[in-house]
Amino acid sequence: MRHSDGLSRGEGYEIDHSAFSDEDLRDVSSLSFGEARPAKPFGRGTRVRYIYTMQTDHLIIGQGICGTFLSYYLQKAGMKVMVIDEQQPFSASKAASGIINPVTGRRIVRTWMIEEIMPFAVDAYTQVGSELGETLISQCNVIDFHPTPQMKISFEKRLNEETFYLKKPAEQDQWTEFFNYDFGAGEIDPCWLVELHPFLNGWRKKLKELDELVEEKFDFSTLDVSQTGSITYKNITAKNIIFCEGVSGFTNPYFELLPYTKMKGEALIAEIPGLPRTNIFKQGISIVPWQDGLFWIGSSYEWDFTDPGPTAIFRERTEAQLNHWLKIPYKIVDHIASERPANIERRPFVGMHPSIPTVGLLNGMGAKGCSLAPYFAHQFVEHLTHNTPINPLADVQRFSRILSAKI
């Protein structure tokens, strides 16, 4: 028989075991969240303290962009959720600038499935925002200042091929008050900017109000997974558990064999009085409007690193670039670093474990969590509720041989 060791909030019973037989305890331990006290009175002097025994449909680990959208869409589908998240100050979702950019890389090519994923993401953040009473997404085009004459030529060549997302701003001189740029600028249109902190904080608040959040570090040693029926974690019983832990998931015993790779990124947070907040400005690094009237400046993409924190070398290099590029004064107020949950295939990991149907995963969003997470969280929920297929390029079933080998 299993007794809960209790969560810090709520109502239920925990009993001094020495005072009761197993038969008596069975009555009490089967109480679920919100049920009344058992009819059988406790004996005089018995120590009783209140705890929860919770039953839910889906237990979600992690409340970054993935866990947020997954819990959101599960709730929309009428499911009960419980989310466990420890507050990590700079998880990937909290360190990200929030850009959704339809064309990326040196060759300025369209990102995977962007025609479907970008409009979906815009609707998703708009919808969550309207429920939270916040504007969570706005159009914010990238102004791409050409760093060299060769880059200008490359952009103009791509402009003839990519007529939908690329354009040349008519007024080439309109930013000369703020920036040094000798080779002109191109524009990526439309780009979108997500307000990640209000999004994550707003949803967290909502989960708390609904009593659907446990703020603690998830501990695998306390998880009980049944192959067919349900899972139990401390005093929570759920039909299944879905991991949305970002890079912490790289050591998840159920999914650690997936081809993950960490990609570190650093950014400086700065005050830049007078700089317009209408665009994202890019010249190698990007300057992005961020929370509290500040700007996010970055980022690096490092696969090979020993120090996961902010480094002096990034700060020096970025400040040198800024001093050359920016004409107006700025003040650095913070320096952040995090790790993107990337993978060598550059495709997300979505779905239930091939051999353990009660354990699932939404992870591997790499550098594009803002756009990929809403789309694939929704697809995953459709799969769970209507058994519709997950895109085979994202479905974790594509690793069934590797994942099943460990069981």
Ligand X SMILES: Cc1cc2nc3c(=O)[nH]c(=O)nc-3n(C[C@H](O)[C@H](O)[C@H](O)COP(=O)(O)OP(=O)(O)OC[C@H]3O[C@@H](n4cnc5c(N)ncnc54)[C@H](O)[C@@H]3O)c2cc1C
List residues binding ligand X (CB under 6 A): 61-67, 84-86, 88, 91-93, 95-99, 217-218, 244-248, 265, 267, 298-299, 338, 340-341, 363, 365-371
Query: What is the C-alpha to C-alpha distance for residues 270 and 296, in angstroms, rounded to an integer?
Result: 7
CB of 99 to ligand X, least distance (A): 4
CB of 269 to ligand X, least distance (A): 11
CB of 103 to ligand X, least distance (A): 14
Closer Cβ to ligand X, 186 or 374, answer by number? 374
Ranges of beta strands (E only) in 231-372 are: 231-233, 236-243, 260-271, 280-283, 285-289, 295-298, 331-343, 349-352, 359-363
CB of 196 to ligand X, least distance (A): 8
For residue 64, give the 3-state DSSP assignment. coil
Query: What is the C-alpha to C-alpha distance for residues 342 and 209, in angstroms, rounded to an integer?
Result: 32
Closest CA to 367 of 122, 95, 147: 95
Pairing of strands 54-61, 236-243: parallel
CB of 23 to ligand X, least distance (A): 36
Closer Cβ to ligand X, 98 or 351, answer by number? 98
* Chain position carrying tokens 């480094």: 311
Closer Cβ to ligand X, 88 or 283, answer by number? 88
350 neighbors 379 (Cβ within 8 angstroms): yes
Closer Cβ to ligand X, 226 or 251, answer by number? 251
CB of 101 to ligand X, least distance (A): 8
Closer Cβ to ligand X, 201 or 391, answer by number? 201
CB of 277 to ligand X, least distance (A): 16
Closest CA to 200 of 117, 96, 296, 57: 96
* Chain position carrying tokens 């004064």: 329
Q: CA–CA distance from 397 to each of 84, 112, 242, 284 (Å)?
A: 25, 20, 15, 37
Closest CA to 193 of 287, 275, 303: 287
Closer Cβ to ligand X, 29 or 98, answer by number? 98
Check whether the bond before 190 is cis (ω within 30° of 0).
yes
CB of 254 to ligand X, least distance (A): 13
For residue 363, give the 3-state DSSP assignment. strand
Q: What are phi and psi of 42, to 5 degrees?
A: -80, 145
CB of 290 to ligand X, least distance (A): 11
Q: What secondary structure letter does DSSP report for 179?
A: B
Q: How many CB atoms within 10 Å of residue 132?
A: 16
For residue 306, give the 3-state DSSP assignment. coil
Q: What are phi and psi of 406, to 5 degrees?
A: -80, -20
Closer Cβ to ligand X, 299 or 358, answer by number? 299
Q: DSSP alpha helices (H): ranges in 210-340?
A: 312-325
Closer Cβ to ligand X, 202 or 265, answer by number? 265
Closer Cβ to ligand X, 279 or 338, answer by number? 338
CB of 81 to ligand X, least distance (A): 15
For residue 247, give the 3-state DSSP assignment. helix
CB of 368 to ligand X, least distance (A): 4
Closer Cβ to ligand X, 53 or 248, answer by number? 248
Closer Cβ to ligand X, 115 or 173, answer by number? 115
Query: What is the C-alpha to C-alpha distance for residues 189 and 406, in angstroms, rounded to an integer?
Result: 46
